[in-house]
Structure 1
Amino acid sequence: MDGTLVDTEPYWMAAETPLVESYGGTWTHEQALGLVGLGLHDSARILQDAGVRMQEDAIVDHLTSQVMTQLRDLGNPFRPGARELLESLREAGIKTGLVTMSLRRMAETVVAQIPFEAFDVIIAGDDAIRPKPFPDPYLQACEALGVQPSEVVAIEDSPNGLRSAIASGATSLGVPLMVSLTGVGAHALWPTLEGRTAADLTRLHADHRPKESS
């Protein structure tokens, strides 16, 4: 979701910086990039190391509330082509799942602002047995959708997200935003989703799905 469907990374950074500074610390752009794709509790521990004297759950709740406020005020900042691709998938009758390390209440805020029925299932950070880069979130989504990982294309913008998708057995597509995905192991890297349709994902899947044994 964050960085793939919607470009909320600036929203997260805008919430992190004043939080760290309120405890007398400093928070650089490079440090913020280090949180991209991490589970929220992993991020909270890094923020504690930067001087934030709050419990992990309190940090997660605070940041989530700040980002949700920006989403409600400013709307969904869709990445180029993401909404259109999602519409194409729905029109083609292809099942879709949202797999995010953000809390469910934030994921539901984003989904509620999409003007069509966008997803069959949501697996959020507070649903995941283990966070990305473990495969659990994608495996849980596959189970909820009633599909095998080999039938799935996972789209990610972060190295941790890609590692999770790859480990699950899904065909993995990287669409980088703030950090490089070169060398992570994605089946394909696209610079953008703009102009892409369900047919493009179908071809990608056909090219990279495991071959059946003869």
Structure 2
Amino acid sequence: MTPPLHALSNWSPEAVVFDCDGTLMDTERHWQEARGRAFREFGLLPPPGFAERAKGVHYVDCGRLMAEEANKPELAANLTSALLGHFLSLVAEEPLTMPGASEFVRLLSGRLPLAVASNCPLEVVEESLDRAGLRRHFRHIVVPTAPPGEQAAPEPEPVPVAGGERGEAVRPKPWPDVYATAARLCGVLPAAALAVEDSLTGVESAWRAGLRVLGVGPLPDGGNTEHADAWVTALNCEEVMGRARGWPHTSSLGEERDHDGPLSG
């Protein structure tokens, strides 16, 4: 059982790292529609429960999973390309923020270092945040620097990593790389940073990197949320906003703006 927000009552973050899809931007429905369109484009039907299994998964892995579950492994590359193309069209037509996301980000902006750690392509994250008027609030955006490929199973314990130097691969969630890198770029230890996430894949990534985790949105069906320190239905609930108003200003601690731009793939 996930503890309520008071589990974070005696702790204040020195930086906050946000997921993008489903946390800041209301794009999960776009991904779901894009998956449906990609399946239909190749005359396939989405397997039962696929939407929940695909939530938070890197789009390259998602395309591969679509092909595998449709028993068409030879279509993995085509489905991946179609998925991304449909998603980009949908998000350009209708960029919307999640409830309370804009207010929460603006409340923290200038007080704490803020970053985004996403499995989405950099151009998708930047375009979405820019169209929503939020891009300027984030000092860093961290995305995977290479397609995920075949990966080993996640380690069972949090494993902080120092990835993210130029030329060093940053693996997608549920690997810890994007969150560990974001904390480092913000100039804080992972244990001093708060991750804000809506998916079990993202929660696993942040937990493994050593961050505290605030889950937001509907609780995943049948999912194990024990790695989230707390879970709330939306960022605009008064308990969250009230707690954030009391967090000390730390934006000047050990962090400079990244003049080279966000870490990208």
TM-score, normalised with respect to structure 1: 0.83
Match of 1:184 among 226, 235, 243: 226
Contact conserved, 1:40 with 1:125, CA < 8 A, in 2?
no
What is the identity, as a one-letter code, of the residue corresponding to 2:84?
T
Contact conserved, 2:213 with 2:230, CA < 8 A, in 1?
yes
What is the identity, as a one-letter code, of the residue corresponding to 1:132?
K
Give the equivalent residue in structure 2 for 1:11. Answer: 30
Give the equivalent residue in structure 1 for 2:243. Answer: 200
Using CA pairs under 8 Å that are at least 6 residues apart, name the structure with larger relative contact order, 1 or 2.
2
In structure 1, what is the Cα distance between the partners aligned to 2:176 and 2:234? 24
- Residue 176 of structure 1 and its aligned partner are, at CA, apart by 3.0
Contact conserved, 2:216 with 2:235, CA < 8 A, in 1?
yes
Shift of the 198–43 alpha-carbon distance from structure 1 to 2, 3 Å rule, reads same
In structure 1, what is the Cα distance between the partners aligned to 2:52 and 2:182? 26
Residues 41-96 of structure 1: per-residue CA shift (max 9 Å, x gap): 2211111112374453x54443223222222212x2211101110000104x2111
In structure 2, what is the Cα distance between the partners aligned to 1:148 and 1:20? 42
Match of 1:132 among 133, 157, 173: 173
Residues 164-189 of structure 1: per-residue CA shift (max 9 Å, x gap): 11111111111134724553321111
**Do structure 1's residue 25 and structure 2's residue 68 form an aligned pair?**
no
Contact conserved, 2:97 with 2:132, CA < 8 A, in 1?
no
TM-score, normalised with respect to structure 2: 0.68
**Do structure 1's residue 79 and structure 2's residue 98 form an aligned pair?**
yes
What is the identity, as a one-letter code, of the residue corresponding to 1:45?
R
Give the equivalent residue in structure 2 for 1:208. Answer: none
Contact conserved, 2:66 with 2:76, CA < 8 A, in 1?
no
Kindly indicate which of the two structures has a greater share of residues assigned to helix. 1
Secondary structure of the equivalent of 2:141? strand
Contact conserved, 2:177 with 2:209, CA < 8 A, in 1?
yes
Give the alignment's Cα RMSD to 1 decimal: 2.5
**Do structure 1's residue 106 and structure 2's residue 124 form an aligned pair?**
yes
Structure 1 segment 28-177 matched on structure 2, within 5 A:
28=47, 30-49=49-68, 50=70, 51=72, 53-56=74-77, 58-74=78-94, 76-91=95-110, 93-116=111-134, 117-126=136-145, 129-177=170-218
Contact conserved, 2:197 with 2:215, CA < 8 A, in 1?
yes
Give the equivalent residue in structure 1 for 2:258. Answer: none
Contact conserved, 1:23 with 1:52, CA < 8 A, in 2?
no
Contact conserved, 2:114 with 2:138, CA < 8 A, in 1?
yes
Number of residue pairs matched by the alignment: 202
Task: Out of 107-116 and 31-40, give the one that drifted further.
Answer: 107-116
What is the identity, as a one-letter code, of the residue corresponding to 2:29?
P
Residues 114-169 of structure 1: per-residue CA shift (max 9 Å, x gap): 32512110012346622111111101111222221112100000111001111111
Shift of the 183–98 alpha-carbon distance from structure 1 to 2, 3 Å rule, reads closer
Contact conserved, 1:139 with 1:149, CA < 8 A, in 2?
yes
User: What fraction of aligned residue pairs are identical, expressed as a percent?
Assistant: 25
In structure 1, what is the Cα distance between the partners aligned to 2:137 and 2:80? 26
What is the identity, as a one-letter code, of the residue corresponding to 1:67?
F
In structure 2, what is the Cα distance between the partners aligned to 1:18 and 1:192? 29
Secondary structure of the equivalent of 1:174? strand
In structure 1, what is the Cα distance between the partners aligned to 2:82 and 2:42? 14
What is the identity, as a one-letter code, of the residue corresponding to 2:228?
A
Contact conserved, 1:159 with 1:184, CA < 8 A, in 2?
no
